[in-house]
Amino acid sequence: MKFGKEFAAQMVPEWQGAYMDYHYLKTLLKDIQVFKQRTKHQQPVPHGLKRSMSMYRAFSGLLSHRHAHQSIDPTSSSDVEDHPILVDSVNRNGSKKYETTFHMQGDKGGEYELVYFRRLDDEFNKVDKFYKSKVAEVTQEAETLTKQMDAFIAFRIKVENPQGWSWQDRSIDMARLASSVAASTAALAASIPAGARTSGRRSVELEHMEIIEEGPSVRNDSDDDKKDTAKQDIGVKNIEKPVLVVNKFKEHKPAPLQILDRVKMNNTLATPRSTIKVILNAPKQSDLKFNRENLNKVENKLKRAFVEFYQKLLLLKSYSFLNTLAFSKIMKKYDKITSRNASKTYMNMVDGSYLGFFGGCGFALIVALILNIRARHILGHDGTDQYMETMFPLYSLFGFIVLHTVMYAGNVYFWRRYRVNYAFIFGFKQGTELGYREVLLVSFGLSVMALASVLSNLDMEMDPKTNDFKAFTEIVPLILVLVVFVIMFLPFNILFRSSRFFFLTCLFHSILAPLYKVRLPDFFLADQLTSQVQAFRSLEFYICYYGWGDFRHRENSCTGNDIFNTFSFIVAVVPFWSRLLQCLRRFFEEKDTLQGYNAGKYFITIVALCLRTAHSLNGGFSWEISALVVSVAAAVISTYWDLVYDWGLLQRHSRNRWLRDKLLVPRKSVYFGAMVLNVLLRFAWLQAVFKFELSGLHRQAMITIVASLEIIRRGIWNFFRLENEHLNNAGRYRAFKSVPLPFNYVEDEDKDE
C-alpha cells in the first residue's frame, strides 16, 4: 500500500483535519516535476536573455525573501548547493512559527519550489500548534488526576480505619494505596490494545502504524536510506515537555485527611432518580459517606480515568509519529524530483521541534515504576532481600536486552550518518537491514511489556508475612520470556522475519563454532554475547527458579546448589569459548598469526572469569589475589587489542597522531574520549573483586549496574570496530560480496597442491 493511503488509514478520525495535508503537497511536487520535464527538452536560452530572466525572477514580488535579515555568503556557492534552504523560527503574534528561506529562487522553476515550501511551512505550523494544544490539555488533566488521587487516598483511610491512625502508619498506608491504584492502572492500560477507546471508536493500530513503508523500493533505495533522517531519535531526545504530563505523579505525596473537608462526591450515574434531580435543579454533588461501596465506586472511576489518560498519551504518540514520517516522505520526494539535498536541513528542524515526542509509553511506565518503589517503601520492606534475590534477576534480563538493542540502534544511526556501509559488511540481503527506528521500535515494545509485567508484580504486597504472592503473577516473567522465544522462531513473514532468521543463523553458527566457516556477522555476534554474561546467568536462574524453586512463595535454593554453581561457570564461559574456537579456525584456515594471539586473549579472559566466579562463590584471600592478577592482565590485553587491532588506533606515525590516517568522525576528541571510556569500563569488574558497595544499594542492583556498563562499552566498541572494517574495505576497494561458485575444477585443486 502506498504511504499516502496508509497515512490516511492510520489517522485518528476526529483529528483528520489537523494532520499534514500530504495529498496537497504531493500535487505541488507534481507541478514541479511537470515543469522540469517540460523545460528539459527545450532549446537553451541565450546567455544574455537567461540572465535577464533570472534577475526578473529574483526581484519579482512573488519571490521576495521571507527572512530579510538572513543572507548567505555569495562567494560560497557550494554552501548554497549543499543547503538550498534555511529553516528558522520566528515569533508572530506571540506564537512561535517556523519559516523556510529558499535560496535557489533564481533557478528555473524556482517559483514552484517557493510555493511548495510556503505550503509546507503552513502544514507544519498547523501540526505543531495542534500538538501543543493537546499536550497542554493532557498536562492539565494530569494535575486534575493528581488532586483526585489525593482525595481518594484520604477517603480510603477514613473507610478502612475510622478509629484514626498514627501519622507514621498513615503515611505508609497512603503511599501503599496510591501505588496500588497506579500499578493496577498501568497494568490494565498495558493489557488494552493500543488506540482502543472506551467510546467505541475505531482502534488505531499503533504497532502496524509504526512500521509502515512506502513500498519495497523505499528500503532498496540507498540514496533514500542515506537521507532518511525523518523519524525521531527515539531515545530520550525531545520528549522533555510531554514528559511533564507523567512527571506530575512522580512527586506525589500522601494527602492529609483535611482534604476531605473540601471535596464532595460527584453523582455521574445516569438513573431515573438522577434525571429527576437534574430537572428539579438538585445539586449534582453529595456529602461524603465513608463506606466500602462508595470506596469501590471511587476506585473504579479513577481506574477508568487513568486508562483513558494513558490512551490519550498513545494517541498523541501516534499523531506525532505519523506526521513526522509524512514530512520525511514528502521531503524525500522533493529531493528526488529536484535533485537537491534539502530534506536533511528541514528534518533537523522537525527533530528539534515540539513535535518530537516518541517513546512516551515506556518512559511513563518507568516513572510509574519509580513512583511505586518510592511510594511503597519497597527498599525498606522485610521482603526486600527476598524480592531482590528472586524477582529482580528475572526482570533484569529484559533490561540487559533492551539496553543492548538501544545501543545497537544508536550504532545504526551513526553508521548511516557517517556512511559506514554496515549492510554490506554484515551481509544483509538488500533492503532487509533494519534502520535505527525499527530497532528502537523492537526495544521499546519489549520494554513496555517488561515494565508492565514488573508493575503487575509489584501490585502485590512485598511483605512475606502477608503471604499475598499469587502463582499467576509470579510466572509473568516466565510467560514473557516464552513469548519472546516464540516471536523469535515465528515462521510467518511478520515482525521482521528476515532479520530474526539472520540473527538465529548467526547465533547457531556461533554456538557450533568451529564447525562453520567464520564470517564477520558470526564473530561480531559472538562478541556481543561476551558482554551479556549476566543475561546468560539470568536465563540459568529462570530454569532453577521455576524448575526447582517454590516460586509460589518466592523461595529457592539455587545459590546453595552445587549443580547451579557449576553451571554458573559454564554459562559465563560459553560466549568466550565460541570466540576462542572461531579464532582458532581462522588461524588454521587463513594462516593468520593475529588470530592465534586473539585466541590467547580469549583464553586468558576465560581463566579470569572463572577465577572471579570462584571468588564470588567461595571468597578467600587466595581466590581474591588470583582473580585480581589474572583479571588485570586480561583487561590490559583486551584493552590494547580493542584500541590497536579492532579500532585501528594508537598509530604513532599516523597523519592523525595516535589515531589512524582516515577518520570518519571529524572531531578527534571523540576518538580520544572513546579510548579513555573504554579503559575505564573495561575495569568495571573491579567491583566484583573488591566488592564495592553503594549505600542503600542491594548487591543484585550493583551487579546489574556493572553488567549494564559492560553493555554500554560494547555499544561504543561496535561503532569504531565497524568503522575500521569499513575503512579497510574502502582501502581495498571491496564493495561487492565474494559469491561462492557451484563447481570446483580438478585442475584448480592440482594448482593448490
749 Cβ neighbours under 8 A, 6+ residues apart: none
Q: Which grid cell sits at 748?
A: 584448480
Instruction: Tell me the pLDDT tens digit for each residue of 412-463.
Output: 999 999 989 898 899 888 778 898 888 988 888 888 888 877 776 665 544 4
Where do runs of H (alpha helix) occur along 339-421?
Answer: 343-351, 360-375, 384-417
Record the cell numbers describing residue 80, joined without a space: 548554497
- Write out pLDDT tens, residues 301-314: 777 777 777 777 77
Is 0.85 surpassed by the pTM of this model? no
pLDDT tens, position by position, 141-153: 777 777 777 777 7
Instruction: Place 506 in a pLDDT band, splitting at 50, 70 and 90.
Output: very high
Q: What grid cell was written down for 103?
A: 535560496
Residue reference for cell 432518580: 273
Write down the mean pLDDT value for the chain.
74
**Mean pLDDT of the 44-55 span:** 43
First and final C-alpha spacing in the chain:
57
Question: 500: burial class by Cβ within 10 Å (0-12, 13-18, 19+)?
Answer: middle
Q: Is 16 exposed, middle or buried (0-12, 13-18, 19+ CB in 10 A)?
A: exposed
pLDDT at 752: 44
Amino acid occupying residue 668:
K
Cα-based distances in Å from 750 to 59, 279, 589, 744, 745? 77, 104, 18, 11, 9
Residue 550 or 417, more confident: 417
Q: 737 falls in which pLDDT band (50, 70, 90)?
A: low
Q: E strands within 44-135?
A: 85-92, 95-102
Q: How far apart are CA 185 and CA 564, in angstroms?
A: 38
Does residue 377 have a pLDDT over 70? no
Confidence of residue 293 (pLDDT cuts 50, 70, 90): confident
pLDDT digits (tens, 9 = 90+) for 583-606: 999 999 999 999 999 999 999 999
Out of 40-49, 94-103, 431-440, least confident range = 40-49
